Structure 1
Amino acid sequence: MTAIVEQVTDAAPRRRPHATLILGLCFTGAIAVLALVSLFWLPFDPSDISGGRLEGPNAEHLLGTDKLGRDLFTQLMIGARIALVVGTASVALAAVLGVAIGLTAAFARPWVDDSLSATLDVIIAFPVLLLAMLVVAVQGASLWSAILAIGLAMSAVVARLTRILARRVLHEQFITAARTSGTRLPGIIAFHVLPNIAPTLGVNLALQFGAAVLAEASLSYLGLGAPPPNASWGRLLQEAQGTVLTAPVGAIAPGIALVVLVLGVNFIADGLRDFADPTRRRSR
């Protein structure tokens, strides 16, 4: 009985959410609320230029106006929606392609595995932003081109990690037992490989989400992201750089929003890593 009580007492602290996970959920949740609200309500029409040019924060315009007289808070809310859409869609695309390629490499013959691994190494050697710029240059600047570009660029990283994790699992004894019992390849992947690599893969995808948001902002800043009137945070930063001394809020607001979202998803990834790694849980 004493041993049972000790086990329960020892396990209880491990179930408590880590502080970084809670902080990450708060940061990301705040941006998500802005994005969801923007679907149903905006303070002003995005194309409304009736406000004064470069006004400071006031009762009517919480963050002031830009150089065209548009409400900055409205633009910030639309930017939150774009950031979450691009981040979610590009990471989903990277996950589907990356997991498929990684599993193919893990289960393939050695020469196929070597060929895929070499190809992935070459792709990973190029920065994500550079690959995204190449894809956007071919497809043309648009929101969906940005999603496609970022997703394809990140899929190589996901594929590489999936291959490494899957090959590690394939050397376990329960895989040998499953094969001996007659379990087919789809069953091994679905019931043995994927459940064992999912925690680590989930942490990596959370980190990739933050990188995707930064990549989209960078593309928009360079004029290769979502074209006007889409109010991407990167485009807001680009438009505000000429007036940063006279109207600093135009650059500070989207910059802070970008930092909050990226920090939020990184904190979530750190919290998920604590739950996925028992040794880290014990150390805390």
Structure 2
Amino acid sequence: MSAAPQTAAEQVATTSAPRRRGHATLVIGIVLTAVIVLAALVSLVWLPYPLSDISGGRLEAPGATHLLGTDRLGRDLLSQLMVGARIALLVGIGAVAIAAVLGTLVGLLAAFARPWVDDAMSATLDVVIAFPVLLLAMLIVAIQGASLGSAILAIGLAMSAVIARLTRILSRRVLAEQYVTAARTSGTGVLGIVRHHVLPNIAPTLAVSLALQFGVAVLAEASLSYLGLGAPPPNASWGRMLQEAQGTVLTAPVGALAPGIAIVALVLGVNFLADGLREFTDPTRRTR
């Protein structure tokens, strides 16, 4: 016996549920990310204490003078956390920009290349992707030297292979469409096809992937700083704050909890943003 057809109200509820979830996810992502961005922007013009100020007592508990307490040198933890937000966003934006430009370019070249060139480039990308981002970043930073610029360059180069492979796959799908064949027949050149057909169709998916890669970049920077390969002092980094607080985590847990929560909030916020964007940009998830 066949199941009874859905009523109009049930169909509306079924189709609108994914969109409501996507809206809620997007809002949560915006809120979490906005808090970190606000802290970073405020740090550009104001800090509770200079990073070099060691006038506070050693490992002070949170209070009116120091809202999050102080570290083992007497430095204000809130000030370090705010500057760490600036560093995390700078690394994330810089690394994603490098990965977007380089990865998209390589992916487009592979999509338009001859079959044997495409196969060679695809194999190379697969080999690069097989190595973790952090490992590749560590190798590049070890060659370039530890600095904020080296961290951004290393993480961006390591992530570009993922974007390149995705761009290649998406571009080849678009190039197989009939409207692209018609454009070629009408005399449209490669640049015209890329500008008018390929990029507009792959941009939404690439935007979601780049948002996810932003979280990867934040985690990679924190890991590099934890290992002493990130931004050197006096720059404050969440990863270095974790490394410095590991010896006093039982006596002063805020020193480790604050940067840890900040890292989780930023990564979750960006991932929620990516999930929310996917709900609104993926045609198969939209309501009709």
Distance in 2 of aligned mates of 1:15 and 1:186: 36
Distance in 2 of aligned mates of 1:221 and 1:190: 42
Corresponding residue of 2:264: 259
1:15 deviates by 8.0
Contact 2:99 2:159 in 1 (8 A): yes
Task: Report Cα offsets for 1:187-241 as digits up to 9, x if no partner.
Answer: 1001100000001111000000000000000000000100111110000000000
For this pair of structures, how many residues does the alignment match?
A: 274
Contact 2:97 2:156 in 1 (8 A): yes
Corresponding residue of 2:243: 238
Match status 1:113 vs 2:89: no
Distance in 1 of aligned mates of 2:143 and 2:47: 34
Distance in 1 of aligned mates of 2:170 and 2:117: 17
1:159 deviates by 0.2
Corresponding residue of 1:279: 284
Distance in 2 of aligned mates of 1:190 and 1:275: 23
Which residue, 224, 227, 243 being the options, matches 2:232?
Answer: 227
Distance in 1 of aligned mates of 2:247 and 2:26: 37
Distance in 1 of aligned mates of 2:183 and 2:150: 42
Structure 2 SS opposite 1:282: coil
Distance in 2 of aligned mates of 1:160 and 1:227: 33
1:282 deviates by 3.4
Structure 2 SS opposite 1:271: helix
Written as runs of structure 1 = structure 2, the 5 A alignment for 1:15-164 is 18-164=23-169
Which residue, 250, 255, 264 being the options, matches 2:255?
Answer: 250
Distance in 2 of aligned mates of 1:192 and 1:15: 27
1:280 deviates by 2.0
Distance in 1 of aligned mates of 2:200 and 2:81: 38
Coordinate RMSD, CA, aligned: 1.6
Corresponding residue of 2:275: 270
Distance in 1 of aligned mates of 2:64 and 2:286: 47
- In the superposition, the TM-score normalised over structure 1's length comes to 0.94
Corresponding residue of 2:194: 189
Structure 1 SS opposite 2:286: helix
Contact 2:19 2:285 in 1 (8 A): no
Corresponding residue of 2:204: 199
Task: Report Cα offsets for 1:168-205 as digits up to 9, x if no partner.
Answer: 00000110111111111111001100000001111000
* Unmatched runs of 5 consecutive residues or more in structure 1: 1-8
* Unmatched runs of 5 consecutive residues or more in structure 2: 1-11
- In the superposition, the TM-score normalised over structure 2's length comes to 0.92
1:115 deviates by 1.1
1:81 deviates by 0.1
